[in-house]
Homo-oligomer: A and B are copies of this chain.
């Protein structure tokens, strides 16, 4: 089996690369998987993207993202995200659930809104063969992006639904600090609820806004191999997607960054 058999590159990692350049580089480097984002997909064209990745023989491991249930609560847009996922041929829509409503201060209420929205969206997604993957985001995003901060919370939200409908994203950047995450990973794996496994390293100091500081594999302090082994041990055998938002990486040549990411994956994750 190729060492890259489970590797997937999220397109945000090399967002400077136009989609045709990215798919061509993936084919050349033996990268079998790609994670997509709605905005660049829309810019290139939904059908055109679907054809491009299909012709390149790539597996679309995830589509990012639905969610933001606490602010706009725009279920129509989330249904559209489900439809786009189906068109792109992926089985997994990543959900970033949303933070506090404007001027809101009640995280518990925000979490209740998220649960309500899930109960509407999950059946719609299931009919189209799309699994919803709740992504707990690091607690530093609790106010403005995602009131779901831990795998435990995400699993509690997912529990009312069949595992084939609603699961979680395990992203090392978001959960590495959490002493309860290892047992949550084991539980999620046993339930078949790990719908995506994403990697980024933790580097400091964090940049202003704390959005674009997801570190290249090996540049930070997360024991990525230990996390990969932990997730494997839970029973997960799916793709391992590298998703970096990083101004420094975006300023470089995209193909060079992808090549580096592949090397880092082999060195620090396998």
Contacts and interface: CB of A to CB of B under 8 A. Distances in A.
Contacts of A140: 138-140, 206, 210
A44 interface: no
Contact of A179 (B100, B107, B205): B107
Interface of A is mostly: loop
A228 to B, nearest CB: 13
A142 B222 CA distance: 11
A159 to B, nearest CB: 15
A147 B55 CA distance: 47
Contacts of A87: none
A104 interface: yes
A179 B149 CA distance: 9
Contacts of A221: 100, 104-105, 143
Contact of A149 (B178, B210, B223): B178
Interface residues of A, number: 33
Contacts of A202: 143
A48 interface: no
A59 interface: no
20 contacts: A100-B221, A105-B223, A106-B223, A107-B176, A111-B179, A139-B139, A139-B140, A139-B178, A140-B206, A140-B210, A142-B177, A143-B202, A143-B204, A143-B221, A149-B178, A149-B179, A205-B208, A205-B210, A206-B208, A210-B210
Interface of A: 100, 104-108, 111, 138-140, 142-144, 149-150, 153, 176-179, 202, 204-210, 220-223, 226
List the 5 shortest-distance A-B pairs measured between CB atoms, nearest first: A142-B177, A208-B208, A105-B223, A139-B177, A140-B140
